[in-house]
Structure 1
């Protein structure tokens, strides 16, 4: 079996070639012991889409900044399933500190060798000594004096990443919004990435690129990722390396000018970072369907630890061969069964949360409803009050009645059924509904009230303000389930993310629908999830959006979804 993967973007911490090589080796970990093969593609939809992102990065499962959650991946399946995401707030290395891949010079792109000797002095960083053009460089062996092997370190004076300038170097100074800049900046961006113009006037030419991270780029502080400057002066003393002087927490820092006492510019020194190879191999295990292991030495153990001479543990081999068969590894044995659960992204470092609920519902079996008006045809309705999927069937609500359409069986439209016969106590007009994928409870919304059903047991009505939704919301027009107990609720031009377990919307909401769901009607009457895609309805039409937020179809609700005959 050949699986494809695509790298959507890259971390600025490492050269692209280093990242590509790390991912290739990470996939080889699994292909060496199974019949699987992996092929990188550069356009289109791959089985495993790989991306770097910070904070809320589009899948509903935000990263938490530096350290903590390093990455997450989704089990195999359609759409976003199988994809792997890496937290771009981490420092990505090969696990032993900054990796600096050189360009040009005479070392054929070899990595810097730290420390190295130049003119009898030892250096543990890229330097500009010995050059009049200010370009940072390093030796690629332990002694430049002996071997004369060198290359240039990443620098905005040599090239930029991304942007729209095809890798052209920065031009300093440059003009942005009327201000002159002599260095890379984060101004004008909300993601914190350093950038520069590649012509003298961005306001006029709009040409830019992202600045590559230098080997000594600082983290935090007030220098926007500028490199350390050695030696630097602090409280009258000279420092040639990072220091913890002046700090009670013991963290290493440096100045980014030659004199901290006068300029007050500083940042934290980068640490050893996290091995992109080891984390990727772990995440790709999840992409292939593996859960976490309880064996501490296993790759699939949930806590990160650096291993210099990595070898796949027998527990990992047994698990992957149970799923895909034997490659060149040992004969597989079946692992202990694990509970089946709804697909959700699996983090590299898992935390735990404890939640409580105000009331408990006792589930009751729900018998198949009996149509109360079989002659009432859903195909004659101009629109519907609400549309949602419950127990694998699409439900269409209208004026106290509803119809069902199976997602799995070609049984056609069933109904009309009575809303109050199935869910006693609900009003005739329903604005929105969704079913929690974990508990199978059904939430209904009408006006500014909501009800929760388990079978025919009901909680409610309650006001939506109990969920943390303010008066800016009129009616809830739809819901999109996102897994892990999260649901997006839509109203007008905004949406909220609801934590179903605690029945409260998350902090940072509402957000503008158009910021993420670009290209769909902002005044959609119905919003629902169907066949792993998002549907936004307005009038007789629907807009279908992929999990990657691309509208891939506009059609008729009646003819395309209900399969009504066209007259």
Structure 2
């Protein structure tokens, strides 16, 4: 068994039901049995036996190992199954043995390459495929942000990291046990199943605090897949017990960061010969666009999760559906690889947003850029002559996305994933009243809005007529 563990170490995240009234006196036989299993799995290489009136050697082994467990979790080292100890044993946790601070596996296994491939072979029906793709990419990105490793998703063949959602027996001699107990397990770096991660399909996978949060579980799993063991630091991602934390803007905690960098080194964005490089001065910084200018033009506009986004010169404004305030941010502060947005639209059915920038486009879920992007416009169905999309808007009740280029437009069938036949068509003949070109387009409360220059037309798509003319800056809460 030791030889097998030396080859591959399996991470088992255990979720156990909290006990009701935890006794402070003599523990029951069931509690002793559970404690024996707990200590055998997490604090002993050879296993321990519960106290017995018959076997004194078993009692000594149990007491000594119990004290190790109590010391690790900062409990009073009584060597007894008191209420505090039983409560800690009942917490959700991971299946590796426990160490202090960050830890590495014996022999410190690591990947000897700089680009790791991963493949998701089975998806959970609890979430959309795009949500799973984005969440897995986000969980891996917290590591690639701090170490010189990159991750690339592939759709076929054998990847370095194979990811699957399965239930019960699934071929690795570590069967899942149904909802509420083992959440997932993974393997340390190596050949074969090394780095692979398996998730229990019987769990309720979510992106919230309910059920099992896929991002947090996956991020912990991938820590083991990178070569990390457990940490005693309670705020560390690799702390043994699982608990939900807010995942928005989540970054790898310092303890985990130090641990993984001890294996792979520190990620640097570029090779700088000067150990203390000075920031390059910007002699002519570009001023922020003025949202209240009567001559305001938009590069792009779209709705995203009920809010309106307006893009201009590397920035974007957000108009929230819940209040009338306007916030402004730099595009790269949210989507680091995108410097400018020429056109954008939201496809609510798959919870995705498409950004067009020059001759390529990006697909995004939430604030996460999906792997494999950007892709060229030709992959979207445009002819090679199209090198820039001026604007785009999705019309939900037709299932079509309208894409405007110069004085023409295309119609894209989202369900079939291809352009409709017979396009492009001329804008001013098909959309009378909106003019000859469109800089930005979006949908709001059943109407389409087409902007060109500083003005826009509110358009009734069903009646094919312009309702009124507005100025762009009217959306910006200006007096």
Does the TM-score normalized on the shorter chain lie above 0.5?
no
Which of the pair has the greater relative contact order for Cα pairs under 8 Å at 6+ separation?
A: 2
Please, what TM-score do these two structures have when normalized by structure 1? 0.33
Please, what TM-score do these two structures have when normalized by structure 2? 0.39
